[in-house]
Amino acid sequence: MANEPSEKQPPSAAAGGESKPGAGQPEPPASPAGGPAAPATEKPSVPAAPPAPGAAGAEKPAAPAAPAAPGAPPAAKPPAAAPPRPAAPPPKKEEKTPLDNDLVKRFRARFGDSIREAWLDRKQAILVVDVAKLEPICRFARDDEKFNMLADLTAVDWPRREKRFDVVLQLYSFPKNERLRIKAMVGDGEAVYSLTSVWPTANWLERECFDMFGIRFEGHPGLKRILLPEEWQGHPLRKDYDILQQDDAWVRENLGIESGQ
Protein backbone atom coordinates (compact mmCIF):
# COMPACT_ATOMS: atom_id res chain seq x y z
CA MET A 1 0.00 0.00 0.00
CA ALA A 2 1.17 3.48 -0.84
CA ASN A 3 0.51 5.06 2.56
CA GLU A 4 2.53 2.53 4.69
CA PRO A 5 6.02 3.49 5.64
CA SER A 6 8.81 1.47 4.18
CA GLU A 7 10.53 1.04 7.53
CA LYS A 8 9.19 0.85 11.03
CA GLN A 9 9.78 3.94 13.06
CA PRO A 10 10.77 3.63 16.71
CA PRO A 11 8.10 4.77 19.09
CA SER A 12 8.47 8.27 20.39
CA ALA A 13 8.97 9.21 23.95
CA ALA A 14 5.46 10.58 24.15
CA ALA A 15 4.09 7.18 23.13
CA GLY A 16 5.89 5.62 26.06
CA GLY A 17 8.97 4.52 24.19
CA GLU A 18 12.54 5.00 25.32
CA SER A 19 14.34 8.16 24.41
CA LYS A 20 17.53 8.08 22.39
CA PRO A 21 20.68 8.64 24.19
CA GLY A 22 21.92 12.13 24.21
CA ALA A 23 24.46 13.36 21.77
CA GLY A 24 27.24 13.29 24.42
CA GLN A 25 26.48 9.75 25.55
CA PRO A 26 27.96 6.81 23.61
CA GLU A 27 25.69 4.08 22.56
CA PRO A 28 26.09 0.77 24.38
CA PRO A 29 27.60 -1.94 22.22
CA ALA A 30 25.24 -4.46 20.79
CA SER A 31 25.08 -7.99 22.03
CA PRO A 32 26.53 -10.50 19.60
CA ALA A 33 23.24 -12.44 19.63
CA GLY A 34 21.21 -9.35 19.00
CA GLY A 35 19.96 -9.11 22.55
CA PRO A 36 20.30 -6.18 24.87
CA ALA A 37 23.74 -4.71 25.21
CA ALA A 38 25.84 -5.69 28.24
CA PRO A 39 26.37 -2.96 30.79
CA ALA A 40 29.69 -1.17 30.55
CA THR A 41 32.28 -2.36 33.17
CA GLU A 42 35.49 -0.77 34.35
CA LYS A 43 38.74 -2.40 33.25
CA PRO A 44 40.46 -4.28 36.09
CA SER A 45 43.65 -2.66 37.37
CA VAL A 46 46.80 -4.41 36.15
CA PRO A 47 49.52 -4.88 38.85
CA ALA A 48 52.77 -3.07 38.20
CA ALA A 49 55.50 -5.23 36.74
CA PRO A 50 58.46 -5.89 39.06
CA PRO A 51 61.60 -3.85 38.32
CA ALA A 52 64.00 -5.42 35.95
CA PRO A 53 67.07 -7.06 37.48
CA GLY A 54 69.90 -4.54 37.84
CA ALA A 55 67.59 -1.55 37.65
CA ALA A 56 67.89 1.19 40.25
CA GLY A 57 65.93 0.36 43.40
CA ALA A 58 65.71 -3.34 42.60
CA GLU A 59 66.55 -5.60 45.56
CA LYS A 60 68.97 -8.44 44.90
CA PRO A 61 67.56 -11.81 45.90
CA ALA A 62 69.44 -13.53 48.74
CA ALA A 63 71.82 -16.17 47.46
CA PRO A 64 70.78 -19.63 48.55
CA ALA A 65 73.13 -21.39 50.98
CA ALA A 66 75.51 -23.76 49.25
CA PRO A 67 74.68 -27.39 50.02
CA ALA A 68 77.24 -29.24 52.16
CA ALA A 69 79.52 -31.62 50.30
CA PRO A 70 78.74 -35.31 50.73
CA GLY A 71 80.59 -36.71 53.75
CA ALA A 72 81.65 -33.27 55.03
CA PRO A 73 81.47 -32.78 58.80
CA PRO A 74 78.68 -30.55 60.09
CA ALA A 75 79.45 -26.88 60.50
CA ALA A 76 81.05 -26.10 63.85
CA LYS A 77 78.94 -24.25 66.32
CA PRO A 78 80.30 -20.95 67.68
CA PRO A 79 82.18 -21.54 70.93
CA ALA A 80 80.26 -20.83 74.07
CA ALA A 81 81.45 -18.04 76.33
CA ALA A 82 84.07 -19.27 78.80
CA PRO A 83 82.95 -19.24 82.42
CA PRO A 84 84.72 -16.70 84.65
CA ARG A 85 87.89 -18.01 86.25
CA PRO A 86 87.80 -18.46 89.98
CA ALA A 87 89.95 -16.16 92.03
CA ALA A 88 93.45 -17.50 92.66
CA PRO A 89 94.03 -18.64 96.23
CA PRO A 90 96.49 -16.58 98.26
CA PRO A 91 100.05 -17.89 98.05
CA LYS A 92 101.04 -20.20 100.82
CA LYS A 93 103.68 -18.97 103.17
CA GLU A 94 106.86 -20.93 102.62
CA GLU A 95 107.76 -22.97 105.65
CA LYS A 96 111.28 -24.18 106.36
CA THR A 97 111.69 -27.91 106.67
CA PRO A 98 114.21 -28.53 109.46
CA LEU A 99 117.08 -30.77 108.43
CA ASP A 100 118.98 -33.08 110.75
CA ASN A 101 120.44 -35.72 108.45
CA ASP A 102 123.89 -37.28 108.60
CA LEU A 103 125.46 -34.37 106.73
CA VAL A 104 124.20 -31.81 109.23
CA LYS A 105 125.21 -34.02 112.16
CA ARG A 106 128.78 -34.21 110.88
CA PHE A 107 128.97 -30.41 110.55
CA ARG A 108 127.52 -29.91 114.04
CA ALA A 109 129.82 -32.52 115.54
CA ARG A 110 132.78 -30.54 114.19
CA PHE A 111 131.65 -26.92 114.66
CA GLY A 112 128.95 -27.09 117.33
CA ASP A 113 126.90 -23.89 117.74
CA SER A 114 128.64 -22.27 114.76
CA ILE A 115 126.02 -24.12 112.68
CA ARG A 116 123.12 -21.82 113.50
CA GLU A 117 120.35 -23.35 111.37
CA ALA A 118 119.85 -26.18 108.90
CA TRP A 119 116.85 -26.81 106.64
CA LEU A 120 115.88 -28.40 103.33
CA ASP A 121 114.70 -26.40 100.32
CA ARG A 122 113.76 -28.30 97.12
CA LYS A 123 115.99 -31.21 98.10
CA GLN A 124 118.95 -28.92 98.76
CA ALA A 125 120.53 -28.66 102.19
CA ILE A 126 121.03 -25.13 103.54
CA LEU A 127 123.32 -24.28 106.45
CA VAL A 128 123.37 -20.91 108.22
CA VAL A 129 126.76 -20.53 109.88
CA ASP A 130 128.68 -18.08 112.03
CA VAL A 131 130.60 -15.70 109.78
CA ALA A 132 133.65 -15.92 112.07
CA LYS A 133 133.90 -19.66 111.26
CA LEU A 134 133.06 -19.37 107.56
CA GLU A 135 136.55 -20.15 106.25
CA PRO A 136 137.18 -23.37 108.30
CA ILE A 137 133.60 -24.55 107.65
CA CYS A 138 134.13 -24.13 103.90
CA ARG A 139 137.47 -25.95 104.09
CA PHE A 140 135.75 -28.84 105.89
CA ALA A 141 133.04 -28.88 103.22
CA ARG A 142 135.67 -29.12 100.50
CA ASP A 143 138.06 -31.66 102.06
CA ASP A 144 135.81 -33.90 104.15
CA GLU A 145 132.42 -33.60 102.46
CA LYS A 146 133.84 -33.40 98.90
CA PHE A 147 132.05 -30.17 97.87
CA ASN A 148 134.97 -29.33 95.64
CA MET A 149 133.35 -26.67 93.42
CA LEU A 150 132.32 -23.14 94.36
CA ALA A 151 129.56 -22.51 91.82
CA ASP A 152 128.68 -19.00 93.04
CA LEU A 153 129.30 -16.50 95.80
CA THR A 154 126.94 -13.55 96.17
CA ALA A 155 124.97 -11.58 98.75
CA VAL A 156 121.44 -10.45 99.62
CA ASP A 157 120.66 -7.11 101.29
CA TRP A 158 118.13 -6.94 104.15
CA PRO A 159 118.41 -3.24 105.12
CA ARG A 160 116.00 -3.45 108.08
CA ARG A 161 117.89 -6.27 109.72
CA GLU A 162 120.66 -5.64 112.26
CA LYS A 163 123.09 -7.72 110.19
CA ARG A 164 121.81 -6.57 106.85
CA PHE A 165 123.69 -8.88 104.46
CA ASP A 166 123.59 -12.60 103.74
CA VAL A 167 126.77 -13.86 102.12
CA VAL A 168 125.62 -16.90 100.11
CA LEU A 169 127.79 -19.71 98.73
CA GLN A 170 126.55 -22.34 96.28
CA LEU A 171 128.68 -25.52 96.49
CA TYR A 172 128.64 -28.60 94.31
CA SER A 173 130.11 -32.06 94.87
CA PHE A 174 131.22 -33.90 91.75
CA PRO A 175 131.82 -37.22 93.58
CA LYS A 176 128.37 -37.18 95.23
CA ASN A 177 126.41 -35.14 92.65
CA GLU A 178 124.93 -33.03 95.45
CA ARG A 179 124.54 -29.32 96.15
CA LEU A 180 124.96 -27.45 99.41
CA ARG A 181 124.15 -23.83 100.21
CA ILE A 182 126.01 -22.04 103.00
CA LYS A 183 124.84 -18.66 104.31
CA ALA A 184 126.43 -16.27 106.80
CA MET A 185 124.91 -13.04 108.16
CA VAL A 186 127.22 -10.01 107.94
CA GLY A 187 126.77 -6.53 109.37
CA ASP A 188 127.38 -3.33 107.40
CA GLY A 189 131.12 -2.62 107.60
CA GLU A 190 131.92 -6.08 108.97
CA ALA A 191 134.72 -7.90 107.14
CA VAL A 192 134.49 -11.51 105.90
CA TYR A 193 137.59 -13.66 105.66
CA SER A 194 138.43 -14.36 102.01
CA LEU A 195 137.86 -17.85 100.63
CA THR A 196 140.40 -17.57 97.83
CA SER A 197 142.66 -20.03 99.66
CA VAL A 198 139.87 -22.62 99.61
CA TRP A 199 138.53 -22.05 96.08
CA PRO A 200 140.64 -19.83 93.76
CA THR A 201 137.49 -18.98 91.78
CA ALA A 202 136.35 -16.95 94.82
CA ASN A 203 138.75 -14.20 93.69
CA TRP A 204 136.49 -12.60 91.06
CA LEU A 205 133.28 -13.55 92.86
CA GLU A 206 134.38 -11.70 96.02
CA ARG A 207 135.40 -8.68 93.93
CA GLU A 208 131.91 -8.56 92.38
CA CYS A 209 130.31 -8.87 95.83
CA PHE A 210 132.50 -6.01 97.08
CA ASP A 211 131.68 -3.89 94.02
CA MET A 212 127.89 -4.36 94.15
CA PHE A 213 127.31 -4.56 97.94
CA GLY A 214 130.38 -3.01 99.56
CA ILE A 215 131.22 -6.14 101.59
CA ARG A 216 134.95 -6.35 102.33
CA PHE A 217 136.84 -9.65 102.24
CA GLU A 218 139.83 -9.72 104.51
CA GLY A 219 142.92 -11.40 103.06
CA HIS A 220 141.82 -11.03 99.43
CA PRO A 221 144.88 -10.71 97.15
CA GLY A 222 143.51 -7.75 95.17
CA LEU A 223 140.13 -6.51 96.39
CA LYS A 224 138.98 -3.82 93.97
CA ARG A 225 135.96 -3.12 91.80
CA ILE A 226 135.35 -5.42 88.85
CA LEU A 227 132.31 -3.89 87.10
CA LEU A 228 132.34 -0.18 87.98
CA PRO A 229 135.24 2.32 87.92
CA GLU A 230 137.40 2.27 91.02
CA GLU A 231 136.43 5.88 91.90
CA TRP A 232 132.68 5.22 91.67
CA GLN A 233 130.68 6.20 94.74
CA GLY A 234 128.06 3.77 96.06
CA HIS A 235 127.16 0.12 95.55
CA PRO A 236 124.25 -0.46 93.12
CA LEU A 237 122.81 -3.70 94.56
CA ARG A 238 122.15 -2.27 97.99
CA LYS A 239 118.45 -1.73 98.58
CA ASP A 240 119.02 1.94 99.53
CA TYR A 241 120.73 2.65 96.20
CA ASP A 242 118.10 4.11 93.83
CA ILE A 243 117.78 2.42 90.45
CA LEU A 244 118.29 5.76 88.65
CA GLN A 245 121.09 6.96 90.90
CA GLN A 246 124.50 7.67 89.38
CA ASP A 247 127.79 9.11 90.51
CA ASP A 248 127.16 12.59 89.08
CA ALA A 249 130.68 13.84 89.74
CA TRP A 250 132.32 10.85 88.03
CA VAL A 251 129.99 11.08 85.00
CA ARG A 252 130.63 14.81 84.65
CA GLU A 253 134.42 14.47 85.00
CA ASN A 254 134.96 11.37 82.85
CA LEU A 255 132.18 11.57 80.27
CA GLY A 256 131.75 15.31 80.05
CA ILE A 257 127.94 15.17 80.38
CA GLU A 258 125.40 15.74 83.09
CA SER A 259 124.03 12.61 84.73
CA GLY A 260 120.72 11.53 83.20
CA GLN A 261 121.43 12.72 79.64
Q: Residue 106 half-sphere exposure, CB side, CA atoms within 13 Å?
A: 8
What is the spatial distance between Cα 205 and Cα 151, in angstroms, rounded to a whole number?
10
What pLDDT score does 260 carry?
60
Is it the case that residue 22 has pLDDT exceeding 80?
no
What pLDDT score does 158 carry?
96
What pLDDT score does 42 carry?
53
- Over residues 126-131, mean pLDDT: 97
The mean predicted confidence, pLDDT, of the chain is: 80
What pLDDT score does 67 carry?
61
Backbone Cα Rg of the chain: 56
Worst-scoring range by mean pLDDT, 47-51, 129-133, 145-149, 172-176? 47-51
Specify the higher pLDDT residue, 1 or 25.
25
What is the spatial distance between Cα 96 and Cα 166, in angstroms, rounded to a whole number?
17
Q: How many residues does the chain have?
A: 261
Apex CA 126: angle with CA 125 and CA 132, to 5°?
140
What is the spatial distance between Cα 126 and Cα 156, in angstroms, rounded to a whole number?
15
Is it the case that residue 194 has pLDDT exceeding 50?
yes
- Over residues 82-91, mean pLDDT: 79
Specify the higher pLDDT residue, 20 or 253.
253
- How much is the pTM? 0.61
Is it the case that residue 241 has pLDDT exceeding 70?
yes
- Over residues 2-8, mean pLDDT: 49
Is it the case that residue 45 has pLDDT exceeding 80?
no
What pLDDT score does 80 carry?
74
- Over residues 247-260, mean pLDDT: 69
What is the spatial distance between Cα 234 and Cα 250, in angstroms, rounded to a whole number?
12
What is the spatial distance between Cα 220 and Cα 208, in angstroms, rounded to a whole number?
12
What is the H or E stretch that residue 105 is in?
helix 102-111
What is the spatial distance between Cα 116 and Cα 216, in angstroms, rounded to a whole number?
22
- Over residues 67-83, mean pLDDT: 69
Q: Where in the chain is the domain with CATH 3.30.460.80?
A: 97-221
Specify the higher pLDDT residue, 119 or 82.
119
- Over residues 81-90, mean pLDDT: 80
Is it the case that residue 92 has pLDDT exceeding 90?
no
For domain 97-221, give the fold.
Beta Polymerase; domain 2 (3.30.460)
What pLDDT score does 14 carry?
42
Is it the case that residue 131 has pLDDT exceeding 50?
yes
Is it the case that residue 95 has pLDDT exceeding 90?
no
- Over residues 190-208, mean pLDDT: 97
